[in-house]
Structure 1
Amino acid sequence: MSLANLCIIAACLLPVVTAALAKAKGFGKRRRDGGYDNHDPRGWMSKQQGWQARANAAQANGFEALPLFIAGVLVAQQSGASQGRIDQLAIAFVVLRLVYVALYLADQASLRSLVWAVGVAISIALFFI
């Protein structure tokens, strides 16, 4: 399995990690005490504020970023591009997504948007290498 394929798995797991971060505040508490409500998870999440709300938004954006990245890796591989170059771009994408999440949690909107744009550019670049 190539590094790029491992990066696909990592990119797919990152939204799961951010979802856990978003819900962490409510774990271990009873629902009536404001704990996580698995009967209405989206309603519970909509009431969160601060970094938990931003973690949830990072989760949603993580899922939104996946199709273009996955398609880019697969197209690059099927086109016979250099696997080393594909791996480099895929690793850069995952690293940028980690930075993106950290910036989202830290409420650094402008820098976060810049990192997001570079990640999208990497996903598009995979189609053309």
Structure 2
Amino acid sequence: MFIAVLCVLLAMLQPFVLSVLARSSTRRGDYLPSPREYNESLTGWHKRAHFAQLNAFEAFPPFAAAVILSWLAGVPPARINLLAVLFVVFRIGHAAFYLTDKPALRSQSWKLAMMAVVALYVLALVQLA
């Protein structure tokens, strides 16, 4: 379970890394008065980094819950670890494809990451049945 917990930590940190990337071309004082308005004014890959950040925040809760619930249900740790690693790898791909403006690959990465989450829930349900 060490690997799965590490993956939860990495998934939790991803939006913050993307936030730093989104604002990397600016001085800190530029966005402090109104960060949400500032984020909406971003362009190019900085704006895509902001959108990737928002998506990473949305993807995190179902993933974290799936890891916890599958563990509580007694799913074998090796399966949880594998699916957690796959989720993180696909989410890193999702962010990279977002930043580099490759929407088809970005969407595929998103789907695969969500399939890993669904698989964790299904394994938990099967274990509890």
TM-score by length of 2: 0.91
Alignment correspondent of 2:17: 17
1:27 Cα shift?
2.8
Alignment correspondent of 1:48: 42
Q: Which of 68, 79, 92 is the equivalent residue of 1:74?
A: 68
Q: How does 1:1-129 map to 2 (within 5 A)?
A: 2-27=2-27, 31=29, 36-129=30-123
User: What percentage of residue pairs aligned between the two structures are identical?
Assistant: 37
1:70-96 superposed Cα distances (whole Å, 9 cap, x missing partner): 111011100101101100110110111
- Unaligned residue ranges in structure 2 (runs of 5+): 124-129
Return structure 1 stretches of 4+ with deviation > 6 angstroms: none
- Unaligned residue ranges in structure 1 (runs of 5+): none
RMSD: 1.1
Structure showing the higher helix proportion among its residues: 2
Aligned-partner Cα distance in 2 for 1:88–1:121? 13
1:2-23 superposed Cα distances (whole Å, 9 cap, x missing partner): 2101110100000000000001
Aligned-partner Cα distance in 1 for 2:31–2:16? 17
1:27-67 superposed Cα distances (whole Å, 9 cap, x missing partner): 36xx5xxxx32011111111110000000000000000011
Q: Number of aligned pairs?
A: 123
Aligned-partner Cα distance in 1 for 2:122–2:35? 40
Aligned-partner Cα distance in 2 for 1:19–1:51? 12
